[in-house]
């Protein structure tokens, strides 16, 4: 029973972390029509920055989120301005080739530079708060995990409200639906592109902080994480925040249970197998409108 509850909590939390970053990826894809293969690297960078802040300045990880948000927002905008925009302007097969090459190249650069600067070893720190004990000690819930989960839920709600309520959010969704149409009704698609990449990168970096809290980080986690986001997007359908959340939680739970029941080694491959199975059975995703 205890194990089950613990697994459920860590699975949901892992799924939430995945979903946060995966949603950023889906947003960028929706607006710019480019699959950002470097997205996982931003999670890794976020985690690394959080680690470095904690290590050198003693900043609490939950506080470091406040530093990361503007930092990675600007980084994401620079990324859009410098690389993504010139790829968006290409057309057809050329755009596909360019998008894969540019984002993959960036991903390799970030990974290798991070490896050289900070070394290949696993980085993590021990962070704990007094746990919550329920039912005469049969169920112990780590309050760090609960807090992280709360933060993820909070951020998801804020992003949702932003997309639904504000003018900018509506403009962003309009570009996702039809880029040319949005341009025709007077939406500055270039600004929206900047904004989207900023938000997407920011979400990935924040997810990195939570990742850091639960696991350890090394420079090579980026691309495997991007693969998980792909799985989540395929599962949940593109562009839907709740689809991403649900897909993330399904993946998180599956990974955690596979690790527990079979072998932690297989955790790595679960996302991939799920992806293949889903493609065979239901390629349009769980909520099934968007063709991928």
Contacting residues toward another protein, per CB under 8 A:
34-35, 37, 83, 86-87, 90, 93-94, 96-102, 104-109, 111-113, 116, 223-224, 226-227, 230, 234, 263, 265-266, 268-269, 271-273, 275-276, 279-280, 283, 292
CA 146 and chain centroid, separation? 19
CA 260 and chain centroid, separation? 24
* Nearest to another protein of 143, 267 (CB atom): 267
- Nearest CA to 88 out of 197, 212, 209, 251 is that of 197
* Nearest to another protein of 192, 270 (CB atom): 270
Shortest reach from residue 150's CB to another protein, in Å: 31
* Nearest to another protein of 171, 275 (CB atom): 275
Shortest reach from residue 42's CB to another protein, in Å: 15
Handedness of CA 152, 153, 154, 155 (dihedral sign): positive
* Nearest to another protein of 108, 147 (CB atom): 108
DSSP string, the chain: -HHHHHHHHHHHHHHHHHHHHHHHHHHHHHHH----TTHHHHHHHHHHHHHHIIIII---HHHHHHHHHHHHHHHHHHHIIIIIHHHHTS-HHHHHHHHHHHHHHHHHHHHHHHHHHH-SS-B------PPEEETTTTEEE-HHHHHHHHHHHHHHHHHHHHHHHSHHHHHHHHHHH-HHHHHHTT--HHHHHHHHHHHHHHHHHHHHHHHHHHS-B-GGGHHHHHHHHHHHHHHH-TT-HHHHHHHHHHHHHHHHHHHHHT-HHHHHHHHHHHHHHHHHH-TT-SS-----
* Nearest to another protein of 53, 114 (CB atom): 114
Shortest reach from residue 83's CB to another protein, in Å: 7
* Nearest to another protein of 150, 224 (CB atom): 224
* Nearest to another protein of 118, 162 (CB atom): 118
Handedness of CA 208, 84, 25, 227 (dihedral sign): negative
Shortest reach from residue 68's CB to another protein, in Å: 24
Q: How many Å apart are CA 174 and CA 152, to the nearest integer? A: 25
* Nearest to another protein of 84, 206 (CB atom): 84
Shortest reach from residue 251's CB to another protein, in Å: 13
Shortest reach from residue 93's CB to another protein, in Å: 5
Shortest reach from residue 149's CB to another protein, in Å: 27
Shortest reach from residue 271's CB to another protein, in Å: 8
């Amino acid at each position: 029973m205890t194990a089950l509850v613990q697994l459920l909590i860590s699975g949901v939390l892992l799924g939430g972390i995945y979903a946060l970053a995966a949603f950023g990826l889906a947003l960028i894809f929706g607006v710019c029509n480019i699959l950002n293969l470097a997205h996982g690297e931003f999670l890794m960078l976020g985690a690394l920055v959080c680690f470095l802040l904690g290590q050198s300045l003693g900043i609490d990880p939950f506080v470091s989120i406040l530093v990361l948000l503007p930092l990675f927002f600007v980084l994401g905008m620079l990324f859009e301005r410098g690389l993504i925009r010139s790829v968006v302007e290409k057309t057809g097969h050329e755009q596909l080739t360019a998008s894969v090459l540019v984002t993959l190249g960036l991903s390799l650069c970030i990974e290798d530079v991070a490896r050289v600067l900070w070394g290949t070893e696993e980085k993590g720190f021990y962070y704990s708060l007094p746990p919550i004990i329920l039912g005469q000690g049969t169920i112990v819930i780590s309050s760090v995990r609960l807090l992280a989960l709360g933060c993820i839920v909070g951020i998801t709600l804020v992003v949702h409200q932003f997309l639904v309520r504000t003018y900018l959010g509506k403009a962003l969704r309009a570009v996702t639906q039809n880029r040319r149409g949005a341009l025709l009704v007077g939406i500055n698609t270039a600004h929206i592109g900047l904004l989207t990449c900023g938000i997407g990168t920011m979400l990935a970096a924040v997810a990195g902080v939570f990742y850091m809290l639960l696991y350890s980080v090394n420079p090579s986690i980026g691309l495997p994480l991007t693969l998980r986001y792909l799985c989540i997007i395929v599962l949940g359908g593109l562009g839907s925040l709740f689809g991403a959340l649900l897909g993330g939680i399904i993946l998180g739970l599956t990974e955690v249970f596979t690790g527990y029941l079979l072998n932690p080694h297989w955790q790595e491959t679960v996302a991939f197998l799920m992806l293949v199975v889903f493609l065979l059975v239901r390629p349009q995703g769980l909520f099934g409108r968007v063709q991928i």
